[in-house]
Structure formats: C-alpha cells, structure tokens
C-alpha cells in the first residue's frame, strides 16, 4: 500500500512541481522526511520571504509554486506576502503543518485553530482534509484550483499524523487527472466588440498585468499596431505588459479617479486588457469617465470584472481575444500622440546620486533582457520613464503594495530564470521587511543584484502626507541603517556608493558575478 506521503510527492512531480519553498517546524517534519533527491527545498528564514520567493518563482515560471509553512504562526507571518500574491493572480499552493489529529481537540501547542479560516480572504480555496485519506485528493485539487483562471493562491492544512497513513490505490487516478480551462470569446461577442471599435473615432488602449502573466505581450503589440492606437499601462501595474520603448507607449496611468478620466476625456472608447478597472490609490474624486467616453474591458477574473465601476466587461483569454480582434478591427487614421522625450539626467556634483541619474545608469549598463523587481516607492514613476522594459516578464512589483515583496521575489525569479539578470531596486525603508531573502540568495548562490536607494526616509509617505495635508506625522524617517554591513552579515557581497563612477564599477562587477551582490546607493544628502 502507498502512503499519503508517497502520493503527495508523486502528484507534485506529475504537475512539474519539484521545488518547495518553506520554513519548517515540528508539524512539517513528517512531510519533509525522506526528502526525494529529485526535489529541491529552498529555505527562507521568515515566512514573508518564503511566500515572496515562491510568488516570484511562480510568476516567472507561469506555473503553480509549492510552499510549506509552519502552522498558524508561519501562516500568520506570510499574510502580507499573500495579499500581494492574491492581487497578482499568482498560483501558489500553500500547505501548512497541523498538529497530530489525536491532539487537535485538546489544542496542544502548535494546533492551527480553524486552520481553513486563517488565510481568508486572500486565497481562492482553503481546506483542511477531513481525514488522512482525503489528503492526496486535496493536494491535486489545490494545484488545479490555483492554476486555473483567475489563478491565485490556495491553502491546505495537513495534520502531521496523516503522512504515514496508507491509502487506496484508486489515488493513482490523481496522477493522470487534468483540468483544462479555456475561456475564448464567442464569434458573436467578438463581432459586437469589433463593431464598437470600428465605430469609435478616438480609441485608447490600457494594458495590465495579466497580459504579461498570460504571455500575451506579442499579441498586445500587434493589436495596438493594427489598430494604430496609443497605449497606457494600467495604474499601479505589478508587471509590464507593453514595451516602454514602443512608440505607442504613453506611460503608466495615474492611480486616481480624476487623473484617469482627464487623460481619457478626448477619447470616445477605452479598451482595457488584463487589469482591474481601475486599481486606484490616492483619492482624487471626479468622474470615473467623461460622459462621451465608453469603456470595454477584458479580464480573466470575474471578481475584478464585477467590482469595476463602469464599462462592458468580458471574461476571456487575453491572447486569444487580442489575436482574433486584431484580424477584424480597422486601422485608425488618427496619429498616435508622441510621448515627450525624457532628457537623460546630469551627473550630480554632490556626494550622492539622484534617482533619475541612478535609473539612467542602471538602464545604460544592464544587459538586454534584464528583469527588474521594484520596491523603491517614491521613484516608481521615474522607473517607468527611464527603464527600458521590453519583452515578457521584465518587471515585477508588489501587486497589493505590501512591502517585503521585491527582495524575495527577485530571488525566486532568478532561481526560475538563470539565463537572465535580475536586478532588485529597493528603497531603504522597504528593504527591511524581507531582508532575510539575502541569506537565501547567498546560501543558494542566486546571483540577484540588490540596489538599495538610501534617502533615509519613507519618501512615498512624505509625498502622501502632502496629498492628505497631514502635517507633523511621526515615524517618517529611517536613518542610520547600514545595509552593506547587514548584507555581509547574511553572506552577501556588499558595497556602499555615492558617486556615478563607483556605482558603474560595482554594478559591472556584480553583473559579472555568479553570486548575489548588494549595492547601497546614497540618493540624497540628508541621512
Ligand atoms: N508596511 C507594508 C507591509 N506595506 C506598506 N506599503 C507600508 C507599510 C506603507 N508604506 C508604503 O506604502 S510606501 C512606504 C511605506 C512604509 C515607504 C517605503 O520607503 P522606501 O522608499 O524607503 O522603501 P521611498 O522611495 O523612500 O518611498
Ligand atoms: Ca527611502
């Protein structure tokens, strides 16, 4: 007879999952015992970093990633990271160890109370199997639910007494069982949509994160070119769906109601593909859209579509609908507006490198196909203006704005994409939330380049305090943190720089290294 342990690893293998991200405790040891040689275990030192790494890995592979956390405390530590995974439609199968069934009732130490409730509402499905016999089925069910559109995290709590239980060989069916989901628009709807596009005079396109996640980038370019329409990237987009170097690219939309409607005032039709309508942030009230502007959106996610404040919203596969629409829409004859050219920043004469200049240098010296993760909050607009983000999977940002994503995500992405360079651009505030990702990068020789922008403050919050007219707010500064010492303590080569030449030199060294590097860059003179 085969055990729950046996079937679980077989199911994972059959679903091409052989990497486990985790932080173990006693409840998890019976799952991890006799760890198969064809699997790799990636140890994270804090569960926020564990889920952040798995999130990056899942996003970069386009496949569900597997996580093993320690009971309630481990799950609790991971909740911030889970909010990002939930919002980026990242397929994650998160398991946690539960107390042995015999002692759950008396609530022995490490019992996960109402385990299935704990990660809600940030999971698509959450479950604790009613018996050991159900565990293999629950694992397969979790993988299928996580991966199907709209993809997202799921959670399974497994009592540690279950692993050695022998189960029915009918479970063999789970090894070949498949779920295929396909959401193609009918001809009927496609023709209605094409009719509306063809009738419109001025059309604007918005591309969002799911274009990149569903590998629809090339179809998005063809569609925009065939239609001859300008393209914006959706507000707060966690991925880059359209090349920032393309002549149709107009920039990233502002994240406010009034800001968006004023940009689209002159258009009679806005088409949104693969983004919420819209992911607002700062509250600037106004019309959602001007009266003359209509909106049609295409999404993989019914909740996203249902919560949109306006428009006609279709649930469909993005690649399919873009390709088929491209064939039937008529090219617009209006000119695509030219984006004002961004002047390269001057070298600073001071003992610091201004962010604009730093981004220009990063852009100039990064090799082709570099992947960036970003958690330098006050410089995000500068990044979108100055970095060449081209090709699929070139940019990752915390989808829920939860800090502590971009450092571990970079480690997971680099693990998945050994052929491309991964550069993590991190603020000196953000760097503290998942700093332990440095240790995993060092131990597993994952050669991420971490660039820390050191301005000594929570810059984005200072900006927000102005927007909210909130004066005399405490807790806005983070002085006196030595990131190169911290990084060295975790085993990562690290440098502190404040001038262009120093940065260029260390960055080039880092690009040629097969180990991770941290470069701490002074970006303001008040520390
Ligand atoms: N905690 C978590 C987990 N997520 C958050 N988003 C915040 C706190 C609030 N927060 C922001 O939204 S931006 C920010 C904080 C604290 C400042 C980040 O500072 P930084 O970057 O040094 O990383 P800048 O460029 O100086 O803003
Ligand atoms: Ca900062």
DSSP 248-263: TEEEEPPSSHHHHHHH
Give the global pTM: 0.98
What value does the mean pLDDT of the chain take?
A: 97
- Looking from the CA of 228 toward its CB, the CA atoms found within 13 Å total 11
User: Per-residue pLDDT averaged across 187-209, rounded?
Assistant: 97
28 is known as an active-site residue: yes
- pLDDT at residue 425 is higher than 70: yes
Closest residue by Cα to residue 467 from 286, 256, 282, 252? 282
Q: How many CB atoms lie within 10 A of CB 296?
A: 20
Q: How far is the CA of 447 from the centre of ligand 2 (A)?
A: 24
Does the Cβ of 159 fall within 6 Å of ligand 1?
A: no
Q: How far is the CA of 62 from the centre of ligand 1 (A)?
A: 28
Q: How far is the CA of 186 from the centre of ligand 1 (A)?
A: 44
Set 47, 128, 319, 375: catalytic member: 47
Which pLDDT score, from 0 to 100, does residue 212 have?
98
CATH of domain 2-175: 3.40.50.970
**For helices 4-14 and 135-147, angle between their N-to-C axes, nearest 10 degrees:** 20
450 bridge partner residues: 424, 518
- In the structure, ligand 2 is a single-atom ion and the residues with CB under 5 Å from it are 427-429, 455, 459
Domain coordinates of the chain in residue numbers? 2-175, 187-326, 355-522
Closest residue by Cα to residue 494 from 472, 512, 518, 477? 518
Closest residue by Cα to residue 365 from 246, 496, 483, 506? 506
For residues 396 and 370, give the distance between their C-alpha atoms in angstroms, rounded to a whole number: 12
Of the chain, the end-to-end C-alpha distance in Å amounts to: 64
**For helices 47-61 and 71-87, angle between their N-to-C axes, nearest 10 degrees:** 40
For residues 108 and 102, give the distance between their C-alpha atoms in angstroms, rounded to a whole number: 9
Pocket residue to mutate for ligand 1, from 459, 478, 521, most atoms within 8 A of Cβ: 459
H or E segment to which residue 236 belongs = none
For residues 516 and 450, give the distance between their C-alpha atoms in angstroms, rounded to a whole number: 8
Does the Cβ of 377 fall within 6 Å of ligand 1?
A: yes
CATH 2.40.30.10 fits 187-326, yes or no: no
Protein residue with least CA distance to atom 10, ligand 1: 461
Q: Are 277 and 210 in contact (CB under 8 A)?
A: no
Q: Are 134 and 73 in contact (CB under 8 A)?
A: no
Same fold? 187-326, 355-522: yes
For residues 157 and 144, give the distance between their C-alpha atoms in angstroms, rounded to a whole number: 17
- pLDDT at residue 261 is higher than 90: yes
Vertex 201 angle, CA 306 and 298, to 5°: 20
**Assigned fold of 355-522:** Rossmann fold (3.40.50)
How sure is the predictor about 525, in pLDDT bands with cuts at 50, 70 and 90?
Answer: confident
Set 26, 262, 347, 484: catalytic member: 26
- Give the number of whichever ligand sits closest to the CA of residue 431: 1
Does the Cβ of 57 fall within 6 Å of ligand 1?
A: no
Q: Residue 149 to residues 90, 478, 509: CA-CA distances in angstroms?
A: 10, 40, 41
User: Per-residue pLDDT averaged across 324-330, rounded?
Assistant: 96
User: Per-residue pLDDT averaged across 154-179, rounded?
Assistant: 97
Q: How far is the CA of 496 from the centre of ligand 2 (A)?
A: 15
């Amino acid at each position: 007879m085969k055990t729950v342990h046996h079937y679980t690893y077989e199911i994972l293998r059959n679903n091409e999952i052989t990497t486990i991200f985790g932080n173990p405790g006693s409840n998890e040891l019976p799952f991890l015992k006799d760890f198969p040689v064809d699997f790799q275990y990636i140890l994270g030192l804090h569960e926020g970093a564990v889920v952040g790494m798995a999130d990056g890995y899942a996003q970069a592979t386009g496949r569900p990633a597997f996580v093993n956390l320690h009971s309630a405390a481990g799950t609790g530590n991971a909740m911030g990271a889970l909010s990002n995974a939930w919002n980026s439609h990242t397929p994650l199968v998160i398991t946690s160890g539960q107390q042995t069934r015999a002692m759950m009732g008396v609530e022995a130490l490490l019992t996960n109370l109402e385990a299935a409730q704990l990660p809600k509402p940030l999971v698509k499905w959450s479950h604790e199997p009613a018996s050991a016999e159900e565990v293999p089925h629950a694992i397969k069910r979790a993988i299928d639910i996580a991966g199907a559109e709209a993809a997202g995290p799921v959670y399974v709590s497994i009592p540690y007494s279950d692993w050695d239980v022998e189960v029915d060989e009918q479970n063999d069916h789970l090894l070949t069982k498949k779920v295929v989901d396909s959401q193609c628009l009918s001809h009927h709807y496609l023709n209605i949509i094409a009719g509306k596009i063809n009738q419109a005079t001025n059309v604007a396109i918005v591309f969002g994160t799911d274009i990149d996640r569903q590998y629809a980038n090339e179809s998005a370019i063809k569609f925009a070119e065939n239609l001859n329409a300008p393209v914006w990237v959706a507000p707060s987009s966690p991925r880059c769906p359209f090349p920032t170097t393309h002549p149709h690219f107009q920039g990233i939309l502002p994240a406010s109601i009034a800001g968006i409607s004023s940009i689209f005032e002159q258009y009679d039709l806005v088409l949104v593909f693969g983004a919420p309508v819209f992911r607002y942030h700062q509250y600037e009230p106004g019309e959602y859209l001007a009266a003359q502007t209509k909106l049609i959106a295409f999404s993989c996610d019914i909740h996203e579509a249902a919560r949109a404040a306006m428009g006609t919203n279709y649930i469909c596969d993005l690649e399919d609908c873009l390709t088929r629409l491209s064939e039937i829409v008529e090219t617009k004859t209006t000119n695509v507006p030219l984006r004002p050219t961004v002047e390269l920043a001057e070298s600073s004469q001071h003992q610091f490198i201004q962010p604009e200049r730093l981004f220009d240098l990063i852009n100039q010296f990064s090799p082709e196909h570099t992947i960036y993760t970003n958690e330098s909050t006050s410089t995000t607009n500068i990044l979108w203006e100055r970095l060449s983000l081209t090709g699929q999977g070139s940019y990752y940002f915390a989808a829920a704005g939860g800090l502590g994503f971009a450092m571990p995500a970079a480690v997971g992405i680099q693990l998945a994409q050994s052929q491309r360079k991964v550069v993590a651009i991190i603020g000196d505030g953000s760097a503290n939330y998942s700093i332990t990702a440095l240790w995993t990068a060092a131990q597993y020789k994952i050669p991420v380049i971490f660039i820390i922008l050191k301005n000594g403050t929570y810059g984005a919050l200072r900006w927000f305090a102005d927007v909210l007219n909130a004066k005399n707010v405490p807790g806005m500064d983070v002085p006196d943190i030595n990131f190169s010492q911290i990084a060295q303590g975790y085993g990562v080569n690290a440098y502190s720089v404040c001038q262009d030449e120093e940065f260029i030199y260390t960055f080039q060294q880092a690009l040629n290294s097969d180990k991770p590097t941290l470069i701490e860059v002074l970006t303001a003179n008040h520390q």
